[in-house]
Every structure is written in structure tokens, then in C-alpha cells.
Amino acid sequence: MRIVLTGGGTGGHIYPALAIGKQVVEEDGSSSILYIGSPNGLESRIVPAQGIPFEPVEISGFRRKLSFENIKTVMRFLKGVRRSKQLLRKFKPDVVVGTGGYVCGPVVYAAAKLGIPTLIHEQNADPGLTNKFLARYAGCVAVSFKESLPRFNAAKRIVNTGNPCATNVVRAIADNGYQSLGLQSGSRIVLMVGGSRGAKAMNDAMVDMVPLLGRLPDVHFVFVTGESYYDGTMERMKRVMPRISNNIHPLPYLHNMPEVLGAATLIVSRSGASSIAEITALGIPSILIPSPNVTNNHQEANARSVAQSGAAEMIIEKNLSGESLFEHIYSIMTDEQRLSTMSEASLKLGMPQSASMIVSELKKLIEDR
């Protein structure tokens, strides 16, 4: 299979695309992949580091209010379509996959106009503008949340596949997670992480919560602060607790997140689509704190969907404090029945075969061409 992947701006768009590409290669080692993205986006660094050929297309997003900049954006879009057609004619893909972000627009649109089978994947419960625009042109729309299904009425075909990032974590070995933390297998772990870069509001709550952790002496708290916040968080933590307890494990970053996730009893996390996919694939109960600093507040929609299923509790950031967070953690960690019920609900949401489901849809598109 010759496949073009496109998606960018944030890791939430890039990593699902890479997971699909990885699954394609695993199923057919002779497959070829080309990634088309923005020259200034995160994908321009992440994708080449994975050894995948990368080609840039200049594009910017529409402003939600009337603006002269939108006229410039239309011109960039048309230019991006021409550039995309050149790249597609040269690479001759069997199928094109878009996972969101502005750069998907010209690439998937160009592929549709050239008669190349296309699939777009929507990670969030509340779809992004680009994917809503592309739905009428794509051969298939794959979604991660059932709530998204009615939002794509114009789609030719729509399927709930889950998020392909889920496939990666189910292969991880939990024992390696315990070992990397220096803990015995079976230890009770609350993993707290505010995304790859960290989250100041969550770090502040972690620090304020430290004096209360003695109420859960058998629980290990793994705090992932983000590298830029680590030193400052440690200074504050030492002021609160000069001798940090043995059950508190502050870390700047986790390079083996899937393995540590597999070892976690409860996770406190932002509610990005990829994070939720990984959490539910492993059936982990969660406390979700949506970031208020994302487009269209989509993290809150994601978190609300998981919370309504019984797999998570949600705390809006403006209501977050060390005391409120600890009370949520304490009430869950001291109730084994509740932990079990939340875990079961989480597993029901999880779709660990997501990547292979999407590849099956790609094969159908190619066969029906």
C-alpha cells in the first residue's frame, strides 16, 4: 500500500497519523508512506525523526471572525491545493489519510479532486473545523467518540473506530513500568500528568495536595510535572515538605509512558483525545481536568463523554485545588468496588484494535475505487 498521511499542529493530530502508518507497515512490510504537513508545525520535527519522508505545504487556519486575513487564507489554501496535487501526482498514493489540523484541508481536498480514496479521522468528541469541511469530500470518516457520529451527516460513510493511539499502549508491559519507577509489581499507583509539556494549574494542585497524602500511605503518587515546570515545582514541594515522602515520585517527563500507564491504578490527566484513547484502552479509572486553553474547548467535551459513561470524574480547572483533587482521589482509592466499576466502564469505551480497524477501512476504500 502506498499511503499519504497528513495532519498537524499538535501531537493530538500527528500521533494518530503515525499510529495508522505503523499499522499499515506492520500488516504489509512493502508499504510506502509519505507525510505531508506544515513546514512550521510540530510534525516537521516529529515525522522526520521517525524516518518517514516529509513534504511541506504552506497553510494557515481561518479566523472565526470576519477578517482580511481570511482572504489571505483562501489564497494560501488554493496554493496549498496546487502544491498538494503536485506531490500526490508524484507519489501516486493508493489512499490519503487526514487526521486533522489546517494542513489536512488542501491535501485531502486535492486527493478527492484527483479521485484518490480518502479517509479522515476525528479524534475529539466535538469535531474540528477542517474535518467538518472535509467530510463531504472524504470517502470515509472515522471517529473516536460516538457523540461525533451525528456531527458528520454529510459524510459518505462514517465509522466509530476509536483512536489509533490506543493500539500502541496495549502492547506495553506493565512490569517494566513498575521497575522503571523502582516499585514492586502490584503497587497501587496514582499517576498525575498534565500532558507532555506539563500544566501549571495541575502542578500547583499537586503541590498543595502533598500535606494530605499521608492519608493514603499505601499509595504511590507519580507526579509528571513537564520539564519546564520541574525545578519550580520541586522548590515549592520542598518548602511544603522538606523531606519528601517515599511514596511521592516527582518526575519531569516519562519516556515510557505506555508502560507506566499499564501499571497505574488511577490516572489524573488532561483530556486530550489521544490520552483518553490510551487510558480507556487499558481500562484505567481517571480524573480528567480539561485544559481550558484549547480551540473550541474540545477537551471538556471529551472529558464529559468519558465521565458520563462512569469511567471518569471531571474537574473543571477553575474549580481545581489541592484539597478538591485529593478528595476525589481519596474517595476513589478507598473504594475498591468503585475502582472496579470505573475500570469496567473504561474498558467498554476502549478500542485497542483501532489502528487495525482503520487500516481495514483503507483497504475497502482502495478495493472500491
- Positive or negative, the CA dihedral 171, 173, 174, 180 is negative
Retrieve residue 256's grid coordinates: 515510557
CB of 222 within 8 A of CB of 251? yes
CB of 221 within 8 A of CB of 195? no
- 11 annotated ligand-binding residue: yes
- What is d(CA 5, CA 23) in angstroms, rounded to the nearest whole number? 13
Query: Which residues lie below 8 Å from residue 153, measured CB to CB, with a gap of 6+?
Result: none
Query: Which residues lie below 8 Å from residue 301, measured CB to CB, with a gap of 6+?
Result: 124, 125, 126, 147
Please give the C-alpha separations between residue 102 and each of 57, 129, 304, in angstroms, as whole numbers: 10, 9, 26
Query: Which residues lie below 8 Å from residue 220, measured CB to CB, with a gap of 6+?
Result: 181, 183, 187, 188, 189, 190, 247, 248, 249
- What is d(CA 127, CA 100) in angstroms, rounded to the nearest whole number? 9
- What is d(CA 297, CA 195) in angstroms, rounded to the nearest whole number? 16
- What is d(CA 263, CA 260) in angstroms, rounded to the nearest whole number? 5
Residue 319 burial (CB < 10 Å; 0-12/13-18/19+)? exposed
Three-state SS for 52-63 is: CCEEECCCCCCC
- What is d(CA 37, CA 10) in angstroms, rounded to the nearest whole number? 11
Residues 297, 303, 305, CA angle at the centre, nearest 5°? 110
- 299 annotated ligand-binding residue: yes
Q: Which residues are annotated as a binding site for UDP-N-acetyl-alpha-D-glucosamine?
A: 10-12, 124, 196, 299
Q: Which residues are annotated as a binding site?
A: 10-12, 124, 196, 299
